[in-house]
């Protein structure tokens, strides 16, 4: 399968699950099925002619631009800090979109600024997570060694898919799989300090990288490989066994006879990171070849529907590609075109260098000058 289709499928698939689940995020199952029928929500609800996403997709977009800003700075100026440092800075940019009016002063906030902050729609608050807000408000950045709190909320895992994608493009061959997964963990630890707040993020990065980079691997095999790798990276973790058992349970349930709600109830509600990943992989394994069935299962439950939907969409989008996401879920989706640009940029990478002659005007505007203006449309694609 064309890798570009997979990259686009991952980011847009995540936004699809996010948007569908966002409409019922704080609804009980009783409320969901009373309103939408026995199958639950399966169609978008439009708001002003568009399908809106939540903070999950917002923060995912900032993860993507942070990676691209970081690599561009490294190639053009010979300066390359740890990836998570760029990500932490631009999560600070996301925080500005949630706390200040549009537009913020680009020059004053240059280190935190990314070109997507030129989009006024990103300044709309979409139920941002309290842990993310409070951690970023402190001005401190948590690390694996010095956690900022003891939170294992799902705000760390739901935003890291671009990391798995970016390193699946083969442009960083010297970066090992373990190092890549650790970037996911470190990125989650910026705001979520509990081991089960960042280990699932590392596992998701691993899963996305395998699925985006290979056509012949199943979601089940990608999950199994991620668990083996987590044991290598976090061998001293006191919570690793719980994580392993929960992922094993998700895989067993996906191949069992329980209906989806019964299975999901056995995995949790998704408000914490390990449960979000467990529900997402359960749905993605059970409906590996049917994006719509997987997403509907991932959002129609009592829990954190937009996050479980987003992570499931990231996984199956990377597996099946954009071309296998039903058209009805691509129509009118907020930031569809912007997500397409980010997916393509993650694949293409920065081709300019400090000493080279090649020049990309659009890339320069996005990741160096940060002045790129894009009029996003909410239209049929």
Residues 6+ apart with CB under 8 A from 256: 263
Q: Which two tokens stand for residue 361?
A: 């005007």
pLDDT number for residue 376: 55
| Confidence (pLDDT) at 98 | 98
Chain position carrying tokens 């409409």:
23
Tell me how many helices (H) and strands (E) the chain has: 17, 0
How many Cβ atoms from other residues are within 10 Å of residue 3's Cβ?
16
Structure-block tokens of residue 22: 């966002």
CA-nearest of 305, 341, 308 to 316 is 308
Low-confidence ranges of the chain (pLDDT < 70): 80, 375-381
Q: What is the per-residue pLDDT for 246?
A: 98
Task: Given CATH 1.10.4080.10, say whether it is the number of domain 3-36+46-355.
Answer: yes
Q: What is the pLDDT of residues 234-265, one digit of tens each?
A: 999 999 999 999 999 999 999 998 899 999 99
The per-residue pLDDT for 380 is: 31
The pLDDT, as a whole number, for residue 338 is: 97
State the pLDDT at residue 370.
94
Report the distance separating Cα 205 and Cα 201, nearest Å: 6
Domain ranges of the chain: 3-36+46-355
The predicted structure's pLDDT at residue 174: 84
Contacts of residue 84, Cβ cutoff 8 Å, sequence gap at least 6: 183, 186, 187, 189, 190
């Amino acid at each position: 399968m064309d890798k570009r289709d997979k990259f686009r499928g991952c980011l847009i698939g995540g936004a699809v699950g996010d948007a569908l689940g966002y409409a019922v995020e704080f609804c009980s199952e009783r409320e969901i099925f009373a309103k939408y029928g026995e199958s639950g929500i399966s169609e978008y609800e439009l708001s002003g002619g568009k399908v809106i996403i939540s903070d999950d997709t917002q923060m995912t977009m900032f993860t993507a631009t942070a990676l691209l800003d970081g690599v561009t700075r490294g190639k053009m100026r010979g300066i390359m800090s740890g990836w998570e440092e760029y990500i932490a800075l631009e999560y600070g940019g996301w925080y500005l979109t949630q706390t200040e009016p549009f537009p913020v002063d680009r020059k004053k906030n240059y280190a935190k600024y990314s070109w997507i902050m030129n989009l006024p729609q990103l300044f709309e608050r979409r139920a941002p997570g309290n842990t993310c807000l409070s951690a970023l408000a402190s001005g401190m950045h948590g690390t694996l060694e010095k956690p900022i709190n003891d939170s294992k909320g799902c705000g760390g895992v739901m935003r890291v898919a671009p990391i798995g994608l970016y390193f699946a493009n083969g442009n960083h061959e010297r970066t090992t799989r373990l190092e890549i997964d650790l970037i996911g963990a470190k990125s989650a630890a910026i705001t979520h300090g509990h081991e089960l707040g960042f280990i699932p993020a590392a596992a998701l990065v691993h899963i996305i990288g395998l699925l985006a980079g290979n056509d012949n691997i199943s979601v089940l095999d990608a999950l199994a490989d991620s668990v083996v790798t987590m044991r290598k990276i976090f061998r001293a973790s006191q919570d690793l066994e719980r994580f392993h058992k929960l992922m094993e349970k998700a895989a067993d349930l996906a191949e069992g006879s329980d209906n989806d709600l019964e299975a999901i109830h056995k995995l949790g509600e998704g408000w914490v990171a390990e449960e979000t990943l467990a529900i997402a992989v359960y749905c993605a394994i059970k409906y590996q070849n049917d994006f719509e069935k997987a997403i509907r299962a991932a959002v129609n439950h009592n829990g954190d529907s937009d996050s479980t939907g987003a992570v499931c969409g990231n996984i199956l989008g990377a597996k099946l590609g954009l071309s296998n996401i039903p058209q009805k879920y691509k129509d009118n989706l907020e930031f569809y075109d912007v997500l397409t640009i980010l997916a393509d940029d993650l694949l293409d990478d920065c081709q300019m260098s400090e000493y080279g002659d090649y020049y990309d005007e659009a890339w320069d505007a996005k990741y160096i000058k940060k002045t790129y203006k894009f009029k996003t449309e909410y239209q049929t694609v």
